[in-house]
Amino acid sequence: MNWIRLSLAGALVLMGCPDVAKITVPPLPKIDGLTLPLPKEANGNYTLMTLAQAQLEIDPTVRDPLTSMGECVDLVSYCYEPNVRSLDECVRSVATCKTETPWASELLPCCPTKCQEDFADARKSLDPAVALDDVFFEKHQCFPGVSAALEGK
């Protein structure tokens, strides 16, 4: 009887019913960015690191393409658990963004469908971790606004 269920599930996936192959993605832990245990500057930012005459600050109120992509990758990496949930399952199953500007309009972290598609394409020739790095950090073309932000536009 199990082979019938497996055959039916496989047929549905091949026919374009992707929800059959999705898993339940655990929610991200709640982190209140306004109460980070880091030194707080007068401008409201937190000091992450100080080197010589420079420091790296975090503004927990910023929502832009880079922070939104970071949330997307957080969803995937928090979901991933070896021998329980694979990177393939996690990328395929995370919440998808409803707009082209998730940092301005989405309340919860999400990943663009294009990122899921690009990851699936990369997986044809790369192992999961390399595909994730390639899609999100090397090429980063799937997430709207990221390339422009990295170019300072």
Q: Which two tokens stand for residue 68?
A: 């939104």
pLDDT in tens, 58-82: 887 888 999 999 999 999 999 999 9
Banded model confidence at residue 88, pLDDT cuts 50, 70, 90: very high
Q: Is 79 exposed, middle or buried (0-12, 13-18, 19+ CB in 10 A)?
A: buried
Banded model confidence at residue 18, pLDDT cuts 50, 70, 90: very low
Is residue 113 located within the same domain as residue 124? Answer: yes
**Does residue 21 sit within a domain?**
no
Is residue 55 located within the same domain as residue 66? Answer: no
pLDDT exceeds 80 at position 2: no
Is residue 54 located within the same domain as residue 113? Answer: no
Q: List helix spans (H) across the chain.
A: 2-14, 65-79, 87-93, 102-105, 113-122, 128-133, 146-150
Is residue 47 located within the same domain as residue 67? Answer: no
Domain that holds residue 41: 31-60
pLDDT exceeds 90 at position 124: yes
pLDDT exceeds 50 at position 90: yes
Mean pLDDT score, 13-39:
64
Is residue 117 located within the same domain as residue 69? Answer: yes
Is residue 49 located within the same domain as residue 67? Answer: no
Question: For the chain, how many structural domains are there in total?
Answer: 2
Is residue 101 located within the same domain as residue 56? Answer: no
pLDDT given at position 9: 41
